[in-house]
Chains A and B, each alone.
Chain A
Amino acid sequence: MERAEKRKLEIIATKIRLGVIEGTYHAKSGHPGGSLSIADTLAYLYWEEMNIDPQNPKMEGRDKLVLSKGHCAPALYAALANRGYFPVEELQTLRHIGSRLQGHPNMNDTPGVEMSTGSLGQGISAACGMALAAKLKNDGSRVYTILGDGEIEEGQVWEASMFAAQYKLDNLVAIVDNNNLQIDGPITEVMSSYPITDKFSSFGWHVIPVYAHDFDQLEAAFKEARTVKGKPTAIIQKSIKGKGVSFMENQVSWHGTAPNAEQYEQAKAELTAALQALEQA
């Protein structure tokens, strides 16, 4: 990837992270940790990979993203707002009464949200249905879904994985965000979902392991996925929970806790400094 292109994506990802901090701080709740770990992936998807039109969110034949790990809505909303689906200022209304930004995504409330998710393990099934519909309509569209490494403990994920392979949904890409932490602790201690790559391989998927915070690797993975025929692709991304905010990184306590005023200022200062450095470079 060219340097300028990478710089652009890094700036966008930093803005998404700022949006996550804004949203969860003003909501006094929410899930910053896992939202920060998928910021780069969302930047790549919405700015490079997906065929979408923020001015026409229901465009026929568009690509779709289903956020199966729906609790990371703050990142999805920040990506959609920065992409132009709705004003960035609205991120501060996250989880407020009457807001279009519900605690977990609702497709009927928020422009650009393709599926209501939040109950883990369900989004991937809906993504399978959308990918199957795209095949039936032969409209060439692609479907993406992001799951957590804790989420894949849900049995429904493996029901869906069998379905996707059975019906050769090569227009479906599942991204597993492997930050190694779930609410009760490291996934190895709570309920190991490892080996994740082997599991998806044995379920008949094409598997691509990547490091989530490297746009070259993301680009290579998503390009490779487009060449795969006859089977779905799983991108297993090693990521850092809380990525981009020093005191949140790799801390399970930031799974579902909002920053207080002091922490908010510090997180904002760190991300703003990173943003300025990128913009001046």
Chain B
Amino acid sequence: MADVKKIATRESYGNALKELAPKYKNLVVLDADLAAATKTGIFKKAYPDRFFDCGIAEANMMGVAAGLAASGMTVFASSFAMFAAGRAFEIVRNSIGYPGLPVKIGATHAGISVGEDGATHQCCEDIALMRTIPGMTVIVPADDVEAKAAVEAAILHNGPVYLRFGRLAAPVFNDPATYHFEIGKGITLRDGKDITIIATGLMVAEAMEAAKTLEAEGIDARVLNIHTIKPLDEELVLKAAAETGKIVTVEEHSIIGGLGSAVADVCSAKCPCQITKIGVNDEFGQSGPAADLLKLYGLSAENIVKTVKEVLGR
């Protein structure tokens, strides 16, 4: 996909906030001293009076966000996924989740594609953490078009939302003219009857590339883009389970508790089938260039192809 335009979804996030600010007058943005990296700095520059830096204090930031939301403000609270979902978990759970306050958590730098900063900053547990909170919507956009649409959908959703964005530039494959985003509605990017590859976030483009390679080898793979991990599009997943019988899930997240687990949860109860999870195995990441790390940890089209062939015994 060398010829395709690439934009990091964190960039899309910052741009979307700025673009939506005139439309949503009550929109305010919080950050925890990472505005330059999370790209909320784009919003800050355009609307300094509606941006509040909370300093390096994510717990308080989440509580402040709750108070603002309780007072009718539309509030985004941003940090790296590690700190937004990890460090501040209990505040998100008790001050935002329990009262059901419509805080939008914009978490960037998710997954190992953080790259050189290494394991302390590579959050592969956030989807698992966030999806256990009752009423929390968990969205992982795959590209620029989807990320921007997700930001506005989150604003319009009357409840807490966790938005997961990446640091690495991601290929833009959706067409803004025809793309439609709906929370909880997965997207069939490619139909197929032999197997279904269910992907989210940065891995959706890899899944599409893998499907093309597989097609050339005579394997007809369906590809689903599950941008909303919770609530999961059960209907679409179960249909794939029933029609293709085999599923491979792909996510830039731990194989414990993320997309793969969500898919397995619903299939094991309603349509048992063979599910193989591709993700970060039960281990920490390490420093290195993002592209190399993704390959090393098997988060590549190449590994998806290999895994699908193994599952199908080809």
Interface residues of A (CB under 8 A from B): 66, 106-108, 114-116, 118-119, 121-134, 136-137, 155-156, 159-160, 162-163, 166-167
Contact = CB atoms under 8 A, between A and B. Distances in A.
Given A119-B90, A156-B91, A163-B57, A125 B52 contact: no
Q: Of B28, B95, B100, which is in contact with the most chain A CB atoms at under 10 Å from its CB?
A: B95
Given A108-B100, A125-B60, A115 B73 contact: no
B71 interface: yes
B67 interface: yes
B63 A160 contact: yes
Given A116-B94, A133-B67, A163 B54 contact: yes
Range of interface residues on B (Cβ < 8 Å): 20 to 34
Nearest to A130: B67
Contact of A128 (B67, B98, B100): B67
A156 B63 contact: yes
Contacts of B94: 116, 118-119, 122
Given A132-B64, A156-B60, 7 more contacts: A115-B66, A116-B94, A122-B91, A126-B67, A128-B63, A134-B71, A163-B55
Contacts of B99: 106-108, 115-116
Contacts of A125: 59-64, 66-67, 91, 95
Contacts of B63: 122-126, 128-129, 156, 160
28 contacts: A107-B70, A108-B99, A119-B91, A119-B95, A122-B63, A122-B91, A122-B95, A125-B59, A125-B62, A125-B63, A125-B66, A125-B67, A125-B91, A125-B95, A126-B66, A126-B95, A128-B60, A128-B63, A128-B64, A130-B71, A132-B52, A133-B67, A133-B71, A133-B73, A156-B57, A159-B57, A160-B63, A163-B54
Contacts of A136: 28, 73
A163 B59 CA distance: 12
B72 interface: yes
Interface string B18-37: 00000000001000000000
Contacts of B28: 136
Contacts of A129: 63-71, 75
Nearest to B50: A136
A115 B67 CA distance: 8
A119 B90 CA distance: 9
A159 B66 CA distance: 15
Contacts of B65: 129
A163 B52 CA distance: 10
Contacts of B95: 115-116, 119, 122, 125-126
A162 B70 contact: no
Nearest to B88: A156
A137 B64 contact: no
A133 B27 CA distance: 11
A128 B60 CA distance: 9
Contacts of A116: 94-95, 98-99
A192 to B, nearest CB: 22
A253 to B, nearest CB: 27
Nearest to B54: A163
Contacts of A160: 60, 63-64
Interface string B34-54: 000000000000000000101
Nearest to A137: B71
A162 B91 contact: no
Contacts of B98: 106, 116
Contacts of A107: 70, 99
A136 B25 CA distance: 11
A133 B101 CA distance: 15
B64 A163 contact: yes
Contact of A167 (B52, B59, B62, B70): B52
Contacts of B55: 159, 162-163, 166
B66 to A, nearest CB: 5
B67 A132 contact: yes
Given A106-B98, A106-B99, A159-B57, A132 B68 contact: yes
Q: Which of B54, B55, B70 has the most chain A CB atoms closer than 10 A to its own CB? A: B70
Contact of B64 (A126, A134, A155): A126
Given A108-B100, A155-B59, A127 B67 contact: yes
A115 B69 CA distance: 11
Q: Which residue, B57, B60, B98, has most C-beta atoms of chain A within 10 A?
A: B60
B59 A159 contact: yes
A124 B63 CA distance: 8
Given A122-B94, A122-B95, A132-B52, A162 B57 contact: yes
A134 B71 CA distance: 8
A2 B90 CA distance: 46
Given A128-B60, A128-B63, A167-B52, A115 B100 contact: no
Nearest to B55: A162
B279 to A, nearest CB: 31
A137 B63 CA distance: 19
B91 A130 contact: no
Contacts of B75: 129
